[in-house]
Structure 1
């Protein structure tokens, strides 16, 4: 897929020499894991599948005897300068089983804490894929592909969760658009990582 190849080419150019050496030790997900992801999430974007076929995660991911920890994704946090890890296929399948409740934000917080494109029922098991955690091990921010939007949203939209104060925002209408935004942003999130 051209978009993923373009993303990976730009990513490799933007990574530091040390990060690139670590990144190059990774490999793609197994066909079995990809088949399970497709089976459980029939709407899973082909661009995510293609990315996972090239690299099956960068978040404390063990490849043979080597464990890699390399941020390769970003979001809108800190003007696009905050880096994120890609979860492995197995990590995605496991972490997407729980409900992400947003009702407490709708009831007690400023209504701007939840984007109106997000279903007020929250992120329900089987209706989203948690694909990325921020460099703070996901404690500060996480990224999701949402397959159950509100009437204002679109299936496959990308949601960014940010902690303290808690907030859920749609940052792209699709995974393709999300990757394109990272490319067009010049991988700025890798520049600030030390």
Structure 2
């Protein structure tokens, strides 16, 4: 039986092909490689609750966010969210490790009322210093508009491992899936609507 990651990748490939972007996908598949076992082992050691489906994706491709493969830097849309207008990169294993613990620093001003209007899902803990989020994706404007996190420190109304989408302008923290597997399934169910002929280079 296929894993959720394999099902996701197969469906994403079809979406690229249907968007008349076969050449883009085929080139990506020809140059990319998965994360090293050493990096995966370090991720599992540092992030013991990291979802298997995320590890599976990293085994397939070790990031698509200005990632160097051979002599080429790529910036490739691999993920989406509940917002069809937003497209996302997958961070590499090293980028994920480097960003460990960045959420309390990045979001303290939002959660502590420095901005007038911030919409915060009730499933999310509002104490920035206690956040335990795994940063795995940035949107394709270099993360300036949105990032995606796996949340290991939810509020009493949330679930451990839920996926949080941060959106800037309007400022919003929204739980978009109860788990990483559910997140991938959501994108499959949405038929990869973030991949369109008019938004691919």
**Contact residue 26 and residue 68 of structure 1 kept, 8 A:** no
Q: Write the mapping of 1:22-41 to structure 2, written as runs, cut at 5 A.
A: 22-24=27-29, 25-41=31-47
Which residue among 78, 92, 96 is the counterpart of 2:96?
92
User: Which runs of 4 or more aligned residues in structure 1 lie more than 3 Å from their structure 2 counterparts after TM superposition?
Assistant: 102-106, 108-111
Which residue among 115, 124, 128 is the counterpart of 1:118?
124
**Contact residue 117 and residue 171 of structure 2 kept, 8 A:** no
> 1:63 corresponds to which residue?
69
Residues 138-175 of structure 1, C-alpha deviations (whole Å, 9 max, x = no match):
00000000111111111110000000121110000000
> 1:148 corresponds to which residue?
153
Over the residues paired in the alignment, what is the CA RMSD in angstroms? 1.8
Structure 1 Cα separation of the partners of residues 97 and 82 of structure 2: 25
- Aligned-residue offset at 1:66: 2.1
Q: Kindly tell me: are residues 155 and 123 of structure 1, through their superposed partners in 2, closer, same or farther at Cα, counting changes over 3 Å? A: farther
Q: Which moved more, 1:95-104 or 1:81-90?
A: 95-104
Q: Which runs of 5+ in 1 are unaligned?
A: none
Structure 1 Cα separation of the partners of residues 87 and 107 of structure 2: 25
**Contact residue 143 and residue 161 of structure 1 kept, 8 A:** yes
SS at match of 1:188: coil
> 1:54 corresponds to which residue?
60
Tell me the number of residue pairs that the alignment of Structure 1 and Structure 2 aligns: 190
> 2:192 corresponds to which residue?
187
Residues 87-124 of structure 1, C-alpha deviations (whole Å, 9 max, x = no match):
1011111122322334544535346x111111111375
Q: Which runs of 5+ in 2 are unaligned?
A: none
